[in-house]
Structure 1
């Protein structure tokens, strides 16, 4: 768990006096409330909590949290967050980005913060579109997406944020969606993880990509197409009438029917959050025939980047005297004595000394 002393707050303590400026009905409102409800429950302290964002609709988030925050530049939030964490490892850092900010110009930086395993929480809002710049297709837009930049439909194969995170070496990968009542539980699990915790949050852009996730995230009627994962629990969905099993011959997941609640007889897998291979299969499951895998897909901590850096610094400085003057004098040095060089005479040779009437 993050090394933070529990601090008593309420939701109101995390709300600012700033006008929340997202489009009416935007899924970002629901995510904001989910975070503001989660922070009091985990005992977060506003004085040691920092929200760092890049550029995009999601990146307005720091303005609406009553804590420290930094609205940075396009795609560079992971690099800046890494610097903040190294400067003060005691800070509790939440990184906010979007599918465009985090996976296009910021893909390089996001990859490195994950592989380094910096101890912070990364929330990637995925609406499969560029909302702030008026609806161009994004790295996660589906093939055939019509937009101002792809009027005939996108030909790009979309990036899968959770698969990207696993491929970059993330030790925690979770999924949720904006209006889900389960989203705070995913956020809590991410905060409890020691290391870089990546959460993909499906978010409805009602202006440029409205209801694109309704097939599994609609407020009503889509529950049967959601697979909420719980460590140590069978992978069941559709009210327990269906489950996910492993085809051991072809080494791939498959859907099986569960009769009379006997999931064991059906061969349903029990979720193990430390199983990286199954996590890869879950994020790659094609939605449609399969449900959408949600919750904590993978959670297997390892030593964090800033801990290793601190240990290296301590080892390098052990037994050494902190003497700046001695450090500056180390190596090649010399002493200049006397009054310095003679004044430079810029006159041509032979002109003699100037008199008082001569201009200088």
Structure 2
């Protein structure tokens, strides 16, 4: 597969003439701008880029990107995206889905695009609610969420998108927040990864689930509630202004993670872990951390590339045809065939 040549573009080159239609204040606006600002920095080419979505508020995304795109059917965007990537592996494919579209009706399709490791970026907008269909509880809604479908409060245990992706075999897991300045860095890391790159983006639904992520996404006090992970860097959070610098350490006895104070910034003495993004066991531990006891892990949680599906498929096709005559006419004439001579006027 050939890496496309990088070109120079600006944000304007990625904007369409379509009116962006989300509710005022919706987090999707911020995600859209983050993507449109990131693509020029990647040297991406709009003519070589394709956005594919399913059904939901997030799935309006392709209309607002000056690229190729498909607005497909509920939950089936991964199947369409796989077909696109197999037909043209050199295309830069971005899949856009939501917590309902991707984890409910589309859960099976999402699982297979991850386990197959098809080379694309998968952005799952998680607002913990069904926004487009007027606020019903979604697979990620928290226990006791009151909605039209759960008027007495949801009794379901919510799905954990990153844990699901890891369990399905994903080789890249990232997390971001719609309005965070760090979101483009996560998108860049996902794009650099060769394979299925899964990014969960916490997105504020201003109408049906307003401020549900304020416990860790609100700017005030965010340093104490957000653990931004960078491969090769210590797992630190907090600041002296917000209660002191803290870190994440491995408890050698329980083999579990724990929060420790980091006095004087000496993280090595405190035993703080350096983030190893290739450690799958560590990734599982991070995405399962209970928020409240721990800060919310964000950034690049796992990044360990493996051979991709479309490369394997095309290599298999090449091997199957080596040394063989690819003539369709000869193939059709092979075996039990016969020729009918004469004309329609000849007697039978």
TM-score, scaled relative to structure 2: 0.96
Matches within 5 A, 1:228-247: 228-239=228-239, 241-247=245-251
Tell me the CA shift for residue 341 of structure 1.
Answer: 11
Tell me the CA shift for residue 319 of structure 1.
Answer: 1.1
Aligned equivalent of 1:145 = 145
User: Can you list the C-alpha shifts for 1:279-299, whole angstroms capped at 9, x where unaligned?
Assistant: 000000000110000000000
User: Can you list the C-alpha shifts for 1:86-110, whole angstroms capped at 9, x where unaligned?
Assistant: 0000100000000000000100000
**Residues in 2 aligned to 1:331 and 1:246: alpha-carbon distance in whole angstroms:** 67
Aligned equivalent of 1:353 = none
Aligned equivalent of 1:131 = 131
Establish whether residue 54 from structure 1 lines up as the match of residue 58 from structure 2: no
Aligned equivalent of 2:307 = 303
Mapped contact 1:2–1:192 kept (Cα < 8 A): no
Tell me the CA shift for residue 69 of structure 1.
Answer: 0.5
SS class of match (1:266): coil
Q: Which of 57-66 and 231-240 deviates more? A: 231-240
Tell me the CA shift for residue 241 of structure 1.
Answer: 1.3
Aligned equivalent of 1:174 = 174
**Residues in 2 aligned to 1:237 and 1:172: alpha-carbon distance in whole angstroms:** 22
User: Can you list the C-alpha shifts for 1:273-329, whole angstroms capped at 9, x where unaligned?
Assistant: 101101000000000110000000000001111110111011011111221111111
Aligned equivalent of 1:249 = 253
- Give the number of equivalent residue pairs: 343
**Residues in 2 aligned to 1:338 and 1:78: alpha-carbon distance in whole angstroms:** 53
State which of 260, 271, 280 in structure 2 corresponds to 1:267: 271
Mapped contact 1:244–1:256 kept (Cα < 8 A): yes
SS class of match (1:332): coil
Tell me the CA shift for residue 251 of structure 1.
Answer: 1.3
Q: Which of these two proteins has the greater Rg computed from alpha carbons? A: 1
Matches within 5 A, 1:70-149: 70-149=70-149
State which of 325, 331, 339 in structure 2 corresponds to 1:321: 325
TM-score, scaled relative to structure 1: 0.93
**Residues in 1 aligned to 2:224 and 2:256: alpha-carbon distance in whole angstroms:** 21
Q: Which of 1-10 and 307-316 deviates more? A: 1-10
Question: Unaligned 5+ residue runs, structure 1?
Answer: 344-360
Establish whether residue 291 from structure 1 lines up as the match of residue 308 from structure 2: no
Mapped contact 1:53–1:97 kept (Cα < 8 A): yes
User: Can you list the C-alpha shifts for 1:152-209, whole angstroms capped at 9, x where unaligned?
Assistant: 0001100000000100000000000100000000000000000000000000001000
Tell me the CA shift for residue 340 of structure 1.
Answer: 6.9
**Residues in 1 aligned to 2:336 and 2:346: alpha-carbon distance in whole angstroms:** 26
Please provide the CA RMSD for this pair.
1.6
**Residues in 1 aligned to 2:131 and 2:346: alpha-carbon distance in whole angstroms:** 68
Question: Unaligned 5+ residue runs, structure 2?
Answer: none
**Residues in 2 aligned to 1:340 and 1:225: alpha-carbon distance in whole angstroms:** 84
Aligned equivalent of 2:37 = 37
